Amino acid sequence: MSAVRTGPTEGEAAGGDDSVQLLVANLFRRSAGAIVAGLARRYGLEQLAMVEDAVQDALLEALRRWPFEGVPREPAAWLRTVAERKALDVLRRGAVLERKLAVAMDPDDTADAERVRGDDAGLFDDDVLGMLFACCTPALEREAAVALTLSVVAGFTAREVAQAFLVSEATMAQRLVRAKRRLRESGARVVIPTDAEELATRLPRVLGVVYLMFNEGYDATEGDALVREDLCGEATRLALLLADHPATTTPEVHALAALLLFQLARLSSRTEGDGAPVLLESQDRSRWDRRLIAEGFRQLEKAGRGDRLTSLHLQAEIASRHLLAVQFDQTDWDGLLRAYDLLLECEPTLVVRVNRAVVVGQRFGAAAALLALEEASRDPAASGYRWFFAVRGHFRAKAGDAEGGRQDLRRASALTRSTPLVRWLEERHAALLDSST
């Protein structure tokens, strides 16, 4: 299972330390999770820490050797081969799990050798999805599952995962250690469930974790950045892997992929240069990614081939209607309201009620929006939901109640731990104050 090497004329120039380091960093982000997943599948989750160390060692060896020897023609395959050799060395030295070592050395086990030949971009999808299912075991809380998925599947460092959750690196490292211990103790395996009933039971949790990962990137709850493109991109990648795999290519998976692609397409237009949010009506639609939108509609068409309408289908439909409008004032508000009414039937949550109220306001005016928000206010969660107060403050001001608008914007700001959003809310509050003096 040796990787074909190239000289400096075909790979990176020998001695090009900076370019090689950048290449290795990008490659490692893209491939580390797949390599860890593949090795963990072979040796078991009880060897996960050893496997992660082996992959890190392979990265360091690449940084040492590639500047002088050139980059291999198939760099991901090279990393996989070196990581596996290092893992086997550890197993041999420790005489650990002789049976698994024998399996790893089995000359008839050629599946992995075959998969490391060819295009690096398509490597190890089964392993990645198998590890995703393992990380989403019911033995872990969803937040722990998201953190573990970012670490093990996506290849995020402990520091990067800590930044996503806005905790210290030391705190996140401890959380990951605990999550990995629970993962080992759960008996989870790095496989995609083959039993139809088990797959139907576990797939919704996997979709929920991917959805939660995207949402945290799309509307960060805390920190200096309202949008985390790395989280959104990784969640979308995982959704597309699920959509493309024959075992998981269900209409609901395609609906999730469509939704995330539609939202990702608008990401660059959602914030100003200083990180402040840009409302949909003010977004520069020429900046929307047409390639992602087109792929989103392909996924949405596949999502429509089933016989069950889910929350994800309706959310994808809502996102698509916004994208179909050439200008904001051409938005199909009646169609959006119908979709929100259906969504409210299958998911009667505060978030859906608040978003529906925005559509009601656009279609029928501020007074109608405030009536819809009055109904939403009966939800006990409303008292702690920043967007409820931000939206109500907006419509109160439009209805002529500047003082009520200011009070709601102050409340929204007090509930917000996202620095750009706090600044934006305070600016809107100040504008209302100026307009009333």
The pTM of the full predicted model, rounded to 2 decimals, is 0.74
Q: Tell me what the pLDDT averaged over the chain comes to.
A: 82
What one-letter code names the amino acid at 206?
A: V
Handedness of CA 134, 140, 142, 143 (dihedral sign): negative
Q: Tell me the CA end-to-end span of the chain in Å, nearest whole number.
A: 76
* Contact (CB, 8 A) for 239 and 224: no
> Which domains does the chain carry?
1-121 (no CATH), 348-437 (1.25.40)
The mean per-residue pLDDT over the stretch 377-392 comes to: 94
* Contact (CB, 8 A) for 126 and 32: no
Q: Give residue-wise pLDDT tens across range 347-376.
A: 999 999 999 999 999 999 999 999 999 999
Instruction: Give 249-315 as a DSSP string.
Output: --HHHHHHHHHHHHHHHTGGGSB-TTS-B--GGGS-GGGS-HHHHHHHHHHHHHHTTSS---HHHHH
Residues 6 or more apart whose Cβ sits within 8 Å of residue 348: none
Q: Give residue-wise pLDDT tens across range 394-404.
A: 999 999 999 99
Q: How confident is the model at residue 117 (pLDDT cuts 50, 70, 90)?
A: very low
Using DSSP's 3-state secondary structure scheme, residue 379 falls into coil
CA distances from 74 to 5, 11, 79, 80 (A): 8, 10, 9, 10
Question: Which residue shows structure tokens 């090497």?
Answer: 5
* Contact (CB, 8 A) for 194 and 261: no
* Contact (CB, 8 A) for 59 and 24: yes
* Contact (CB, 8 A) for 391 and 425: no
Measured from the Cβ of residue 95, the count of other Cβ atoms closer than 10 Å reads: 8
Q: Give residue-wise pLDDT tens across range 302-340.
A: 999 988 999 999 999 999 999 999 999 999 999 999 999
pLDDT in the model for residue 96: 41
Residue 294 token pair:
């087109």
How far apart CA 259 and CA 303 sit, in angstroms, is 11
* Contact (CB, 8 A) for 165 and 158: no
What one-letter code names the amino acid at 253?
A: V
